[in-house]
């Protein structure tokens, strides 16, 4: 029975997104679609352990959900509803009944899934709600799992989900894939959600609840699905490339004390060659499409430069500096400029790097950011200005919360 | 989590006469894995007659030409997938349009599965 439960859970994980997407197209509401899908899951848990998992579990779940939907909507229709609602519901009943006779074709399944992604990531919803709804409806995660993954209270996440679904319903957001111009406008919101999910997993440290590091895999999965559904969008491939390449360094990103290990100091033998290959391939797909690379594509191109290099010295820093320059123009951010300064320092000498750092050192966004003095210390040390370098490392050490990182910086201060 | 799905055809090389339809069905299955964001890589393997074996007796390596095993014990191909549980990987394996074959599903070791000193030894630190 326990095994049957786990097998059903696995089927659910595989089928739920498509099921919810297909139902949402018929009933026009993701909240209702989710309830109906849940009804079908309950029915599966009732019958499958004894009868076995059906040959085509996806079709079984869909047929069951549709029947429940028709029952439910008819019942509601009987209980005197507003005329407008009644019209909508009889429309849904009609759509459901008619759909019994039409198997959804492949393209439609893809469109439904894409519509579900865009609906979950609708700009009308606050960011945390978009993330929670995406993980719930597309990832098949339970509310409890989402709460654990984001270190939030379960009740908070539950409320966030309820509110998000209500917002979509009340605003009458249509369940559809946005058209050309609108798609371009709404795509960044989708990509942002996937990147946020990934980063949450990336920031998890060893020994944490497995749900958190698993977020990286979930983000990758969502990104790859999106790349198959919207292959004409270069930034989708750019994001996938970035995620694959960043994930390739997951095993090297932390030291034994759990401290973050900077890229230059990472043990490159721990980088995952399969993910590097996959990342480079995704980047090639982005580059093959018309138009210049977007912010994700550029970051992926930078990551690919690092992935290609045997070590920090063998890295193509001139190209990385140029890529950061392009990125800074699309994404004006002092952190991007700081990274550019590091690359320029490597490519054209510490003096050139320091000049760039000087241009951003008063940015309020960098106040308290320990990597600013740390980078400056590094560049000063290279110029032989050891006392100034030591002072910068000590300043950086005072700014970080991580003990291992602090020790590292204080060590550098002493050696400088 | 990563899982390796090894395909063992339970027929001999001579009996293996795939038609276009079987190929197309396998293509659709692979496409489905890809669309689900699960597929990391896959390959089919030439028969053992075109391969060879390196055997170690003690520390000495010796090379034998193929074929080298019972047909049933020969891997015909593999998929490397990302899945969220063994059950999910098994469910995907059971959706393969296979005929007269078996698919063995094995979880791939992650670096984290080893103690720190072995990880360092593997990295050559």
Give the tens place of pLDDT for each residue, A214-253. 899 999 999 999 999 999 999 999 999 999 999 999 988 8
What per-residue confidence (pLDDT) applies to A225? 96
What interface predicted TM-score (ipTM) does this complex get?
A: 0.86
Phi, psi of B109 (to 5 degrees): -65, 140
Cβ distance B35 to A10 less than 8 Å, yes or no, reads no
Of the ranges A63-72, A142-151, A173-182, A285-294, which is most confident? A285-294
A9 vs B41, B87, B124: nearest CB:
B87
CB–CB of A9 and B38 under 8 A? Answer: no
Is the Cβ–Cβ distance between A120 and A130 less than 8 Å?
yes
pLDDT digits (tens, 9 = 90+) for A360-404: 999 998 988 999 999 999 999 999 999 999 999 999 999 987 777
For residue B110, the chain A residues in CB contact (below 8 A) are 251
Q: Which domains does chain B have, with CATH numbers?
A: 2-123 (3.30.70.1060)
* Contact status of A274 with chain B (Cβ, < 8 Å): yes
Smallest Cβ–Cβ distance between B91 and the set A14, A222, A223 belongs to A14
Other CB atoms within a 10 A radius of the CB of residue A218 amount to 25
**Contact between B38 and A222 using a beta-carbon 8 Å cutoff:** no
Closest Cβ–Cβ partner in A10, A221, A229 for B38: A221
| Nearest beta carbon to residue B116 from set A6, A220, A256 | A256
Minimum CA–CA partner of A230 in chain B: B35
Chain B contact for A95 (CB, 8 A cutoff): no
* Nearest by CB: B88 against A10, A222, A225: A10
- CA proximity to A353, closest of A374, A332, A333, A370: A374
Q: How many whole angstroms separate alpha carbon A20 and alpha carbon B38?
A: 19
pLDDT in tens, A204-218: 766 667 778 889 999
Residue with token string 């865009």 = A118
Task: With beta carbons less than 8 A apart as the criterion, state whether A271 and A245 touch.
Answer: no
For chain B, what is the mean pLDDT?
87
Q: Are A220 and B91 within 8 A, CB to CB? A: no
Strands B2-9 and B77-82, by their bridges, are antiparallel
Element (H, E) at B82: strand B77-82
B87–A7 C-beta distance less than 8 A: yes
Q: What is the mean pLDDT of chain A?
A: 89
- Interface mutation target, options A221, A236, A265, chain B, most CBs of B under 10 Å: A221
pLDDT at A124: 94
Give residue-wise pLDDT tens across range A295-327: 999 999 999 999 999 888 899 999 999 999 999
Strands B52-57 and B60-65: antiparallel
The verdict on a CB contact (< 8 Å) between A270 and B123 is: yes
């Amino acid at each position: 029975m326990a095994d049957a439960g786990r097998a059903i859970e696995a089927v659910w994980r595989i089928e739920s997104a498509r099921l919810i997407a297909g139902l949402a197209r018929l009933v026009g509401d993701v909240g209702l679609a989710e309830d109906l899908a849940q009804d079908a899951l309950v029915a599966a848990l009732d019958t499958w352990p004894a009868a076995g998992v059906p040959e085509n579990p996806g079709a079984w779940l869909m047929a069951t959900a549709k029947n429940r939907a028709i029952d439910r909507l008819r019942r509601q229709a009987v209980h005197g509803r507003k005329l407008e609602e009644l019209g909508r519901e009889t429309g849904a009943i009609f759509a459901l009944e008619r759909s019994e006779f039409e198997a959804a074709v492949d393209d439609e399944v893809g469109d439904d899934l894409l519509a579900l992604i865009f609906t979950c990531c609708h700009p009308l919803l606050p960011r945390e709600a978009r993330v929670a709804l995406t993980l719930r409806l597309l990832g098949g995660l339970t509310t409890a799992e989402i709460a654990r993954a984001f270190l939030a209270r379960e009740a908070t996440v539950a409320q966030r989900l309820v509110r998000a679904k209500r917002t979509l319903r009340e605003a009458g957001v249509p369940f559809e894939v946005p058209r050309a111009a609108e798609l371009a406008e709404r795509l960044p919101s989708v990509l942002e959600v996937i990147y946020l999910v990934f980063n949450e997993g990336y920031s998890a440290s060893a020994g944490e609840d497995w749900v958190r590091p698993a977020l990286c895999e979930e983000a990758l999965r969502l990104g790859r699905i999106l790349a198959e559904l919207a292959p004409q969008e270069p930034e989708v491939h750019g994001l996938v490339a970035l995620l694959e390449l960043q994930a390739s360094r997951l095993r090297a990103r932390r030291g034994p004390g759990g401290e973050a290990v900077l890229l230059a100091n990472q043990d490159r033998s721990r980088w995952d060659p399969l993910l590097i290959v996959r990342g480079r391939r995704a980047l090639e797909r982005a580059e093959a499409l018309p138009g210049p690379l977007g912010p994700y594509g550029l970051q992926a191109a930078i990551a690919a430069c690092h992935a290609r290099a045997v070590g920090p010295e063998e890295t193509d820093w001139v190209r990385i500096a140029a890529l950061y320059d392009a990125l800074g123009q699309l994404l004006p951010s002092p952190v991007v400029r700081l990274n550019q300064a590091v690359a320029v320092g490597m490519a054209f000498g510490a003096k050139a790097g320091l000049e760039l750092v000087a241009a951003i050192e008063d940015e309020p966004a960098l106040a308290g950011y320990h990597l600013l003095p740390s980078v400056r210390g590094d560049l000063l040390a290279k110029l032989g200005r050891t006392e100034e370098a030591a002072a910068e490392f000590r300043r950086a050490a005072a700014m970080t919360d991580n003990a291992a990182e602090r020790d590292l910086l204080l060590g550098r201060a002493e050696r400088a | 989590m990563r899982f390796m799905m090894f395909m063992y055809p339970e027929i001999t090389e001579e009996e293996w006469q795939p038609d276009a339809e079987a190929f197309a069905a396998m293509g659709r299955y692979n496409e489905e894995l890809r669309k689900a964001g699960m597929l990391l890589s896959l390959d089919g393997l030439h028969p053992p007659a075109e391969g060879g074996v390196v055997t170690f007796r003690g520390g000495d390596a010796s090379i034998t030409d193929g074929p080298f095993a019972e047909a049933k014990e020969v891997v015909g191909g593999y998929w490397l997938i990302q899945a969220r549980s063994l059950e999910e990987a098994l469910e995907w394996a059971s959706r393969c349009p296979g005929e007269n074959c078996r698919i063995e599903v094995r979880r791939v070791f992650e670096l984290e599965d080893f103690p720190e000193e072995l990880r360092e030894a593997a990295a050559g630190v």
